[in-house]
Amino acid sequence: MKIIDIKTQDIRFPTSKDNLGTDAVHVDCDYSATYVTIFTDQKDLTGIGLTFTIGKGNDLCCTVIEYFKEFIIGKNVEEIEKDIASIWEKITNHSQLRWVGPQKGVTHLAAAAFFNAIWDLISKFHKKPLWRYIIELETRDLLDKLSFSYIDDVITKDEAAKIIDQKKTNLPSNLDDLNSTIFPAYTTAAGWLGYSDEKMKRLVEENLSKGWTHFKMKVGQDIERDIHRCKLVRELIGNKNKLMVDSNQIWSVNETIENIGKLKQFDILFYEEPTNPDDVLGFKKIKDAHPDVNLATGEMIQNKVMFKQFIEHKSLDYCQIDSCRIASINEILPVLLIASKFNTPVIPHAGGVGLCEYVQHLNLINKFIISNHELLLSEYAESCSEHFENPAIIKDGGYVTPTNPGYSVKIKDSSLNEFDYNNGTYWK
């Protein structure tokens, strides 16, 4: 069964008109996907992958993927599955493309979409949802498919194998029993910064009625308004439910230290992305100034090396891996393993096109074969879910376990035809 073609589409949804996704720095988001389809000589077997952007620049990711095609076209699916670690290294360390990286920015976003499509293809080939395909692999086989380059000073394959093998002893003899798992989530749907007080109040009340207990809201443009909004939401959800805030990198280190002091009164579970996402030492200064608060970051951390530094230096309390910012399963699982070694809880970022669909698999992999941390939580933002054939399903404030083969991000043909930025009916 061979790869015969790869198609890339620039898909953009006009979400800016409704202020969906707005925060302190991203004020006009058109939620977008660099959408990859891998075709095989078996018509009913394709691999689907994407990376998430917010409009302009999505086309750049599409362009970069054109350079990746030569690495798998003409190869058998079984060959790609066996050699996926080598293919990952060749693409992410391409002798010329790495000059506009390396392993960061547009080239890495493109690599995420490309390898997400490959993993989707492989798990469909085995007729399993991605999470189950991963947990059923022999430990050494799984680790040989991952990338430990530049992080083996913090975690080796032998250490990783011990973590996984120990966790696997807790798996049930019949893995079908795992299909009933509900993975706890928090909602961001009510907290976008562009929403009026009235809209936010209505959405919070709706989410409370649906059983949500954890709420995140955006802050950062004006501290007095932030205080007002936090007071409003805290009064609505009561003291038993959890509140988190996200300032999307807008504050300096000193501003963060000052503003956390003003927001502490609202009993914040964590402060997300308070400052520059690369500033490991800045985050540490914030932690030193406020040792009693929790910092969360990860959606803009560019690669596993940066995660290594944040986690090892205890500059974050919650690790928010993003399924499309770093380059797919090959890199995500090593980050989860580092987090497990340092007993750092993982709360994946999911505010974007297809991210909820992706993280439902990552949550289960982390829960079943990697993490020993008692805190289990993941973001749910309901971003453009109506466009997916098999969107993530929420029940009682948590993710229902996906059982369809693959990685769950196939967009409906009708949505592709409408929102393709180059040929879609909406953008003409």
Q: Residue 382 pLDDT more than 90?
A: no
Q: Which residues are catalytic?
A: 218, 349
Residues 80 and 150: their CA atoms lie apart, in Å, by: 23
* Virtual torsion, Cα 360, 115, 89, 136, nearest 10 deg: 50
Which has the closest alpha carbon to 381: 194, 220, 242, 191?
A: 191
AA letter at 298: G
φ/ψ of residue 344, rounded to 5: -100, 125
| Class of the domain covering 3-150 | alpha beta
The reported pLDDT for the residue numbered 23 is 83
Residue spans of the domains in the chain: they are 3-150, 175-414
pLDDT at 24 over 90: no
Q: What is the 3-state secondary structure (H, E, C) of 167-200?
A: HHCCCCCCHHHHHHCEEEEEECCCCCCCCCHHHH
Quote the DSSP letter at residue 265. G
Q: Which residues pair with 46 in a beta bridge?
A: 39
Cα-to-chain-centroid distance, residue 78: 27
pLDDT tens profile 50-93: 999 999 999 999 999 999 999 999 999 999 999 999 999 999 99
Structure confidence at residue 19 (pLDDT): 86
pLDDT in tens, 165-196: 999 999 999 999 999 999 999 999 898 898 99
By C-alpha distance, which of 349, 252, 253, 346 is closest to 300?
A: 349
H or E element at residue 50: strand 46-53
**Structural tokens at position 121:** 């293809």
The residues, any chain, with a CB within 8 Å of residue 410's CB and separated by 6 or more, are 48, 388, 389, 390
Q: What percentage of the chain reaches a pLDDT higher than 90?
A: 95
pLDDT of residue 167: 98
* Integer Cα distance of 200 and 373 in angstroms: 32
Q: Is the CB of residue 33 less than 8 Å from the CB of residue 52?
A: yes
Q: What is the CATH number of domain 175-414?
A: 3.20.20.120
User: Cis omega before residue 102 (within 30°)?
Assistant: yes
Q: Residue 18: pLDDT band by 50, 70, 90 thresholds? A: confident
Q: State the average pLDDT for the chain.
A: 97
Q: Are 53 and 61 in contact (CB under 8 A)?
A: yes
Task: Give the pLDDT mean for 225-243.
Answer: 97
Token pair belonging to 394: 């929420």
